[in-house]
Chains A and B, each alone.
Chain A
């Protein structure tokens, strides 16, 4: 069987499950919205500070949402030993990882694109002339989050303390992604500095590339017991 077809089958399975349960959609939408509102309240009425913090708040909300999304996708897998059954098929482990990654990433991109205008309005930021570049920024940033979240969610899926352990393990590793994504999107909003943003975007793409190779290579250790 073609490995790419296996990737597609696993991704399709995850997306089909989510389209029916809406478990991740509801949880991440509400959680992200609440995070944005709480941070806005914490900053207060200083409009300049709100504008400056807008992209940081967006990426914090997306980082937490990626934890929920990845953890939930494994919970659905663990019911009735379905994931175990899937892992006894001859599909290579990297194909399983990439399938779950693809589904999580697709979901996170959509969430990011929904939350972006909400953030801009809520924080009084200006999209600026280079706003289309925010789309690849969302795509690359959420890819980085999904890469780490799917790996660590697989590692902690069978643990009792998974809810607390997953963010503790994940967030130190995604700091470079978070930093590059905040800087790139921060450089794009308002007046906009495309040259500065491009540098951060290239760095973001570099991190993603390193993580995709690394995570794919070690995933079989994660799912072996």
Chain B
């Protein structure tokens, strides 16, 4: 049930918000996808983002990940403007895309090494991360031989190694089997316990009410808060 569309899903922040959106718009040609979003998410909160296909969930995540410029308004990640201070914002966040975001002609281990080293994070825990997501036996296989679920698991391993303060997850449960989906839930719970902020776009309605501190819905380019599983 939508309530105040500009509601803050988190308690009043005492520190710099992990995510701050002020009048954010994003336009593709003449089509206004995001119509002026306002949002603050306090550090350590888990927020789920619902919405139909094409509603703007991925656009919002890509905008926060500094991959898209807002057409108007301001988007901040831990106080860093995603445009003017993009590199500082990127230093605080890690993403997982729908398709996993790995190179098919590299092995799982090489993909993880590349992503981790580029972040300047230690690369001595690659095997541990691969084991955590169940890919230890295929660590030296080329990713192009992986199923979509295995690629998603590799994305989860990259997320673990990033040691980021903010996770931006685009349909993290998609393409995963039941074990994989449970793994995502566990990782999100652990992230919250460790103080990591999570914003995840998902179609897993019931699951996200169990996982998230707040559930938002994006419709017609505007955000609203959802307090219960729609019936």
List chain A positions with a Cβ less than 8 A from chain B: 1, 5-6, 9-10, 13, 16-17, 20-21, 76-77, 79-82, 84-92, 224-225
Contact = CB atoms under 8 A, between A and B. Distances in A.
Interface stretch (B7-15, B92-100, B206-214): B92-100
B216 interface: no
B138 interface: no
A184 B135 CA distance: 54
Nearest to B118: A89
Contacts of A77: 103
A130 to B, nearest CB: 41
Instruction: Across the A-B interface, give the 3 residue pairs with the lowest CB-CB distance, nearest first.
Output: A85-B101, A1-B120, A90-B91
B101 A82 contact: yes
B129 interface: no
Contacts of B132: none
A13 B114 contact: yes
A198 B65 CA distance: 48
Given A16-B105, A80-B101, A84-B101, 13 more contacts: A1-B118, A6-B118, A16-B106, A17-B106, A21-B105, A79-B104, A81-B98, A82-B103, A88-B66, A88-B90, A89-B115, A90-B119, A225-B62
A5 B117 contact: yes
A79 B106 CA distance: 12
> A-side binding surface: helix, strand, loop or mixed?
helix
29 contacts: A1-B118, A6-B118, A9-B117, A16-B106, A20-B105, A21-B105, A77-B103, A79-B104, A80-B97, A80-B100, A81-B97, A81-B100, A84-B62, A84-B67, A84-B101, A85-B97, A85-B158, A86-B115, A88-B65, A88-B66, A88-B94, A89-B115, A90-B90, A90-B91, A90-B118, A91-B118, A92-B87, A224-B67, A225-B69
B187 interface: no
B111 to A, nearest CB: 8
A76 B118 contact: no
Nearest to A77: B103
A85 B95 contact: yes
A76 B105 contact: yes
A5 B91 CA distance: 17
A20 B105 CA distance: 7
B185 interface: no
Nearest to A80: B99
* Residue among B68, B94, B99 with the highest chain A CB neighbour number at 10 A: B99
